[in-house]
Protein backbone atom coordinates (compact mmCIF):
# COMPACT_ATOMS: atom_id res chain seq x y z
CA UNK A 1 0.00 0.00 0.00
CA UNK A 2 1.46 3.38 -0.98
CA UNK A 3 2.31 6.03 1.59
CA UNK A 4 -0.51 8.22 0.31
CA UNK A 5 -3.03 5.46 0.93
CA UNK A 6 -2.35 4.81 4.57
CA UNK A 7 -5.65 4.37 6.47
CA UNK A 8 -4.93 6.78 9.31
CA UNK A 9 -7.30 9.66 8.60
CA UNK A 10 -9.94 10.76 11.08
CA UNK A 11 -13.30 9.54 9.90
CA UNK A 12 -17.01 10.08 10.35
CA UNK A 13 -20.05 7.86 10.12
CA UNK A 14 -20.91 9.01 6.64
CA UNK A 15 -20.66 12.80 6.90
CA UNK A 16 -18.30 14.70 4.66
CA UNK A 17 -15.44 16.19 6.63
CA UNK A 18 -14.94 19.13 4.30
CA UNK A 19 -12.28 17.42 2.22
CA UNK A 20 -12.88 16.65 -1.42
CA UNK A 21 -12.01 13.64 -3.49
CA UNK A 22 -8.63 13.64 -5.22
CA UNK A 23 -8.60 15.26 -8.61
CA UNK A 24 -7.67 13.04 -11.49
CA UNK A 25 -8.12 12.97 -15.22
CA UNK A 26 -11.61 14.21 -15.84
CA UNK A 27 -12.34 14.80 -12.16
CA UNK A 28 -15.29 17.09 -11.72
CA UNK A 29 -16.46 16.44 -15.25
CA UNK A 30 -19.23 14.18 -16.35
CA UNK A 31 -18.29 10.70 -17.49
CA UNK A 32 -20.10 8.71 -20.13
CA UNK A 33 -23.64 8.77 -18.80
CA UNK A 34 -25.07 5.41 -19.74
CA UNK A 35 -28.45 5.94 -18.12
CA UNK A 36 -30.09 4.72 -21.29
CA UNK A 37 -31.32 1.32 -22.28
CA UNK A 38 -27.81 0.11 -23.09
CA UNK A 39 -26.22 1.35 -19.84
CA UNK A 40 -26.92 -1.75 -17.73
CA UNK A 41 -25.73 -3.96 -20.59
CA UNK A 42 -22.45 -2.06 -20.78
CA UNK A 43 -21.96 -2.47 -17.04
CA UNK A 44 -22.87 -6.15 -17.25
CA UNK A 45 -20.21 -6.58 -19.93
CA UNK A 46 -17.61 -4.88 -17.73
CA UNK A 47 -18.48 -7.28 -14.91
CA UNK A 48 -18.20 -10.30 -17.20
CA UNK A 49 -14.75 -9.25 -18.36
CA UNK A 50 -13.43 -8.23 -14.93
CA UNK A 51 -11.36 -10.73 -12.97
CA UNK A 52 -11.41 -8.91 -9.62
CA UNK A 53 -14.38 -6.54 -9.48
CA UNK A 54 -15.08 -4.79 -6.17
CA UNK A 55 -18.20 -2.89 -5.06
CA UNK A 56 -18.03 0.26 -2.93
CA UNK A 57 -21.33 1.44 -1.43
CA UNK A 58 -22.57 4.48 0.45
CA UNK A 59 -25.77 5.66 2.11
CA UNK A 60 -27.68 5.80 -1.17
CA UNK A 61 -27.84 2.03 -1.44
CA UNK A 62 -29.89 1.87 1.77
CA UNK A 63 -32.28 4.74 1.06
CA UNK A 64 -34.77 2.37 -0.68
CA UNK A 65 -34.89 0.43 2.62
CA UNK A 66 -36.28 3.54 4.31
CA UNK A 67 -32.98 4.67 5.82
CA UNK A 68 -32.29 8.38 5.25
CA UNK A 69 -29.00 9.48 3.80
CA UNK A 70 -26.93 12.17 5.50
CA UNK A 71 -27.19 15.26 3.31
CA UNK A 72 -30.63 15.44 1.70
CA UNK A 73 -32.33 18.71 2.78
CA UNK A 74 -35.14 18.07 5.23
CA UNK A 75 -34.75 14.28 5.25
CA UNK A 76 -31.04 13.61 5.80
CA UNK A 77 -29.87 12.32 9.16
CA UNK A 78 -28.15 15.60 9.96
CA UNK A 79 -30.89 17.85 8.54
CA UNK A 80 -32.09 18.93 12.01
CA UNK A 81 -29.24 17.79 14.23
CA UNK A 82 -25.71 19.13 14.58
CA UNK A 83 -23.55 15.97 14.34
CA UNK A 84 -20.75 17.68 16.24
CA UNK A 85 -23.08 17.94 19.23
CA UNK A 86 -24.16 14.30 19.38
CA UNK A 87 -22.02 12.11 17.12
CA UNK A 88 -18.45 12.67 18.31
CA UNK A 89 -16.43 10.46 20.60
CA UNK A 90 -16.07 13.47 22.92
CA UNK A 91 -19.86 13.91 23.01
CA UNK A 92 -20.25 10.25 23.94
CA UNK A 93 -17.72 10.51 26.76
CA UNK A 94 -19.11 13.83 27.98
CA UNK A 95 -22.80 12.91 27.99
CA UNK A 96 -23.54 9.27 27.08
CA UNK A 97 -27.17 9.74 28.11
CA UNK A 98 -27.75 12.44 25.48
CA UNK A 99 -25.75 10.46 22.95
CA UNK A 100 -27.96 7.40 23.40
CA UNK A 101 -31.18 9.44 23.32
CA UNK A 102 -30.25 10.26 19.74
CA UNK A 103 -28.68 6.96 18.68
CA UNK A 104 -31.11 4.70 20.53
CA UNK A 105 -34.02 5.74 18.33
CA UNK A 106 -31.90 5.45 15.22
CA UNK A 107 -30.67 1.97 16.11
CA UNK A 108 -34.19 0.78 16.90
CA UNK A 109 -35.27 2.03 13.49
CA UNK A 110 -32.34 0.38 11.71
CA UNK A 111 -33.05 -2.90 13.49
CA UNK A 112 -36.37 -3.23 11.67
CA UNK A 113 -35.11 -2.38 8.17
CA UNK A 114 -34.79 -5.04 5.50
CA UNK A 115 -32.36 -5.34 2.60
CA UNK A 116 -33.74 -3.89 -0.60
CA UNK A 117 -33.30 -5.19 -4.16
CA UNK A 118 -30.09 -3.19 -4.58
CA UNK A 119 -28.45 -5.06 -1.67
CA UNK A 120 -29.80 -8.31 -3.09
CA UNK A 121 -28.47 -7.55 -6.58
CA UNK A 122 -24.98 -6.93 -5.18
CA UNK A 123 -25.15 -10.20 -3.22
CA UNK A 124 -26.27 -11.95 -6.41
CA UNK A 125 -23.21 -10.61 -8.25
CA UNK A 126 -21.09 -12.14 -5.49
CA UNK A 127 -22.90 -15.47 -5.77
CA UNK A 128 -22.20 -15.48 -9.50
CA UNK A 129 -18.52 -14.82 -8.69
CA UNK A 130 -18.57 -11.59 -10.66
CA UNK A 131 -17.72 -9.52 -7.58
CA UNK A 132 -14.72 -10.29 -5.38
CA UNK A 133 -15.73 -8.20 -2.36
CA UNK A 134 -17.93 -5.38 -1.04
CA UNK A 135 -16.69 -2.31 0.81
CA UNK A 136 -19.41 -0.30 2.54
CA UNK A 137 -19.57 2.94 4.45
CA UNK A 138 -22.90 1.89 5.95
CA UNK A 139 -23.37 0.55 9.48
CA UNK A 140 -26.86 -0.91 8.95
CA UNK A 141 -25.92 -4.61 8.43
CA UNK A 142 -28.12 -4.83 5.31
CA UNK A 143 -25.38 -6.09 2.97
CA UNK A 144 -24.64 -8.92 5.37
CA UNK A 145 -28.32 -9.76 5.74
CA UNK A 146 -28.71 -9.78 1.96
CA UNK A 147 -26.01 -12.43 1.71
CA UNK A 148 -22.79 -10.55 0.98
CA UNK A 149 -19.87 -12.70 2.07
CA UNK A 150 -16.59 -10.79 1.78
CA UNK A 151 -17.76 -7.56 3.36
CA UNK A 152 -15.62 -4.73 4.71
CA UNK A 153 -17.69 -2.45 6.98
CA UNK A 154 -15.36 0.53 7.11
CA UNK A 155 -17.43 2.52 9.60
CA UNK A 156 -18.29 -0.48 11.75
CA UNK A 157 -21.71 -1.97 12.38
CA UNK A 158 -24.65 -1.49 14.70
CA UNK A 159 -24.55 -5.25 15.30
CA UNK A 160 -22.39 -4.72 18.39
CA UNK A 161 -21.74 -2.19 21.12
CA UNK A 162 -18.52 -2.23 23.11
CA UNK A 163 -17.34 -1.33 26.60
CA UNK A 164 -14.36 1.00 26.34
CA UNK A 165 -13.03 -0.21 29.71
CA UNK A 166 -13.10 -4.01 29.47
CA UNK A 167 -13.63 -4.29 25.66
CA UNK A 168 -16.63 -6.56 26.20
CA UNK A 169 -19.16 -6.68 23.37
CA UNK A 170 -22.94 -6.70 23.57
CA UNK A 171 -25.23 -7.57 20.66
CA UNK A 172 -27.81 -5.19 19.23
CA UNK A 173 -30.80 -7.14 20.53
CA UNK A 174 -29.53 -6.91 24.10
CA UNK A 175 -28.64 -3.21 23.71
CA UNK A 176 -32.20 -2.44 22.61
CA UNK A 177 -33.51 -4.39 25.61
CA UNK A 178 -31.29 -2.37 27.95
CA UNK A 179 -32.54 0.86 26.42
CA UNK A 180 -36.15 -0.20 27.01
CA UNK A 181 -35.46 -1.37 30.57
CA UNK A 182 -33.67 1.71 31.87
CA UNK A 183 -33.79 5.50 31.78
CA UNK A 184 -30.11 5.99 30.98
CA UNK A 185 -27.63 4.65 28.44
CA UNK A 186 -27.06 0.89 28.10
CA UNK A 187 -24.18 -0.20 30.32
CA UNK A 188 -21.70 -3.03 30.44
CA UNK A 189 -23.00 -5.74 32.74
CA UNK A 190 -19.46 -6.48 33.95
CA UNK A 191 -18.15 -3.03 34.85
CA UNK A 192 -21.23 -0.80 34.50
CA UNK A 193 -19.57 1.56 32.03
CA UNK A 194 -21.74 3.06 29.26
CA UNK A 195 -21.61 1.01 26.08
CA UNK A 196 -20.47 2.63 22.85
CA UNK A 197 -21.83 1.50 19.48
CA UNK A 198 -19.16 -0.29 17.48
CA UNK A 199 -19.33 2.38 14.76
CA UNK A 200 -16.84 5.10 13.92
CA UNK A 201 -17.76 8.45 15.44
CA UNK A 202 -16.40 11.86 14.55
CA UNK A 203 -12.98 12.16 16.13
CA UNK A 204 -12.20 8.45 15.91
CA UNK A 205 -9.74 6.83 13.52
CA UNK A 206 -11.07 4.22 11.13
CA UNK A 207 -10.22 0.65 12.13
CA UNK A 208 -6.82 -0.16 10.67
CA UNK A 209 -7.66 -3.76 9.73
CA UNK A 210 -10.78 -2.72 7.82
CA UNK A 211 -8.98 0.07 5.99
CA UNK A 212 -6.06 -2.16 5.09
CA UNK A 213 -8.42 -4.75 3.64
CA UNK A 214 -10.35 -2.07 1.74
CA UNK A 215 -7.20 -0.58 0.24
CA UNK A 216 -5.94 -4.05 -0.67
CA UNK A 217 -9.20 -4.82 -2.48
CA UNK A 218 -9.09 -1.47 -4.27
CA UNK A 219 -5.48 -1.85 -5.38
CA UNK A 220 -6.09 -5.34 -6.75
CA UNK A 221 -9.40 -4.51 -8.45
CA UNK A 222 -9.61 -4.24 -12.22
CA UNK A 223 -13.12 -2.79 -11.82
CA UNK A 224 -14.60 -0.80 -8.95
CA UNK A 225 -18.39 -0.40 -9.00
CA UNK A 226 -19.39 2.56 -6.82
CA UNK A 227 -23.05 2.49 -5.74
CA UNK A 228 -25.02 5.13 -3.84
CA UNK A 229 -22.07 7.22 -2.73
CA UNK A 230 -21.10 10.82 -3.34
CA UNK A 231 -17.45 9.72 -3.00
CA UNK A 232 -16.60 12.77 -0.93
CA UNK A 233 -15.84 11.31 2.52
CA UNK A 234 -12.18 10.63 3.26
CA UNK A 235 -10.33 8.37 3.37
CA UNK A 236 -12.93 6.22 1.60
CA UNK A 237 -13.12 8.78 -1.22
CA UNK A 238 -9.58 7.88 -2.21
CA UNK A 239 -10.42 4.21 -2.90
CA UNK A 240 -11.63 4.77 -6.49
CA UNK A 241 -8.40 6.65 -7.19
CA UNK A 242 -6.42 3.66 -5.91
CA UNK A 243 -8.18 1.39 -8.41
CA UNK A 244 -7.95 3.94 -11.23
CA UNK A 245 -4.27 4.67 -10.66
CA UNK A 246 -3.49 0.94 -10.62
CA UNK A 247 -5.01 0.61 -14.10
CA UNK A 248 -8.51 -0.52 -13.09
CA UNK A 249 -11.76 0.88 -14.41
CA UNK A 250 -14.54 2.68 -12.55
CA UNK A 251 -18.31 2.35 -12.88
CA UNK A 252 -20.65 4.61 -10.92
CA UNK A 253 -24.32 4.06 -10.06
CA UNK A 254 -25.74 6.97 -8.08
CA UNK A 255 -28.13 9.85 -8.61
CA UNK A 256 -25.80 12.53 -7.26
CA UNK A 257 -22.69 13.77 -9.02
CA UNK A 258 -19.28 12.59 -7.83
CA UNK A 259 -15.71 13.83 -8.29
CA UNK A 260 -15.01 10.69 -10.32
CA UNK A 261 -17.76 11.05 -12.92
CA UNK A 262 -15.22 12.04 -15.57
CA UNK A 263 -13.23 8.86 -14.95
CA UNK A 264 -16.12 6.41 -15.11
CA UNK A 265 -16.31 3.91 -17.95
CA UNK A 266 -20.04 3.64 -17.22
CA UNK A 267 -22.12 6.18 -15.32
CA UNK A 268 -25.72 5.26 -14.38
CA UNK A 269 -27.76 7.97 -12.69
CA UNK A 270 -31.23 6.53 -12.17
CA UNK A 271 -32.20 4.98 -8.83
CA UNK A 272 -29.90 2.25 -7.60
CA UNK A 273 -32.60 -0.43 -7.43
CA UNK A 274 -33.75 -0.14 -11.04
CA UNK A 275 -30.20 0.19 -12.36
CA UNK A 276 -28.79 -2.82 -10.49
CA UNK A 277 -31.80 -5.00 -11.20
CA UNK A 278 -31.34 -4.16 -14.90
CA UNK A 279 -27.65 -5.11 -14.67
CA UNK A 280 -28.47 -8.51 -13.16
CA UNK A 281 -31.14 -9.07 -15.83
CA UNK A 282 -28.59 -8.18 -18.53
CA UNK A 283 -26.33 -10.93 -17.21
CA UNK A 284 -28.99 -13.62 -17.72
Which of the residues are catalytic? 155
Written as one string, the DSSP assignment of the chain is --GGG-S-SEE-SS---S--PPP-TTTTS---B--STTHHHHHHHHHHH-SSEEEEE-GGGTGGGT---SSSTTTSTTSSS-HHHHSBHHHHHH-HHHHHHHHHHHHHHHHT----HHHHHHHHHHHTT---EEEE---S-HHHHHT--SEEETTEEEEEEEETTT--EEEHHHHHHHHHH-SS--B-TTT-PBEEEEEPPBTEEPPHHHHHHHHHHHHH-SEEEEES--S-STTGGGHHHHHHHTT-EEEEE-SS--TTGGGEEEEE-S-HHHHHHHHHHHH-
- Of the candidates 193, 189, 150, the residue with the CA atom closest to the CA atom of residue 170: 189
Amino acid sequence: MSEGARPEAVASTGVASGASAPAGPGAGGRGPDASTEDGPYRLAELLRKAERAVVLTGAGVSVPSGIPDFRSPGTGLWANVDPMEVATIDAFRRDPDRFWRFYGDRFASLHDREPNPAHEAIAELERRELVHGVITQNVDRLHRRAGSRRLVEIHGSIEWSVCLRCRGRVGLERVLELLQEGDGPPTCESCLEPLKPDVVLFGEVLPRAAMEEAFALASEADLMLCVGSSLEVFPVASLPAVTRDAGGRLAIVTQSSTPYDGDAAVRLSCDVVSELEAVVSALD
